[in-house]
Structure 1
Amino acid sequence: MFPFHFLRCVSQAPWAPRLFSTTSMVEAGYKMKSHSGAKKRWRSSPGLKSFKRGKAFRSHLNASKPPARLNRLGNTAYSTPAQTHKLRKVLLPYGSG
């Protein structure tokens, strides 16, 4: 019997153009996955220049917190340039394009 899994991993049809290089994936034997926790917490701004997220500690036990603190916690938090660089690698392991 012919091993059909061999056809899947060796090559694609010659008429289908590849959108990205798969040589390192085939050599490694696995695909990199994006970070599930980061996917749930961060959203990208247009053009992938930065990412934004909501702040923590705003969901419950708010009666003992001052109103100024609650207002601060309601604002959006943006990523720093160092965080943006790391988030791009975590969320987009094969690049943005």
Structure 2
Amino acid sequence: MPKIKTHSGAKKRFKLTKNGKVKRGHAYRSHLLNGHGKTTKIKRGYRKNAYADKTNAAAVKSMLPYA
């Protein structure tokens, strides 16, 4: 059998944890973080880990066959 290609967009956006969860980044975190409508509470939430929903986890794992 030939090797399966890893989805290059998925490998930049997701990591698999040791327990098999799919770790993801937060949206809206990249810029405008001081004084432009994002509250301290929202920015504090960006620091916490974010995981893909279980309904999407299987699709992401299929795009990352060797992770």
TM-score (norm 1): 0.56
Kindly report structure 1 stretches of 4+ aligned residues shifted beyond 3 Å.
Answer: none
- Any gaps of 5 or more consecutive residues in structure 2? none
Q: Structure 1 or 2: larger helix share? A: 1
SS at match of 1:86: helix
Higher relative contact order (CA 8 A, sep 6+): 2
SS at match of 1:46: coil
Give the greater-gyration-radius structure (CA): 1
Q: In structure 1, what is the Cα distance between the partners aligned to 2:29 and 2:45?
A: 10
Partner in structure 2 of residue 83 of structure 1:
56
SS at match of 2:32: coil
Partner in structure 2 of residue 55 of structure 1:
26
Partner in structure 1 of residue 13 of structure 2:
41
| Amino acid in structure 2 at the alignment position of 1:55 | H
RMSD, aligned CA:
1.8
- Any gaps of 5 or more consecutive residues in structure 1? 1-21, 26-30
| Amino acid in structure 1 at the alignment position of 2:41 | A
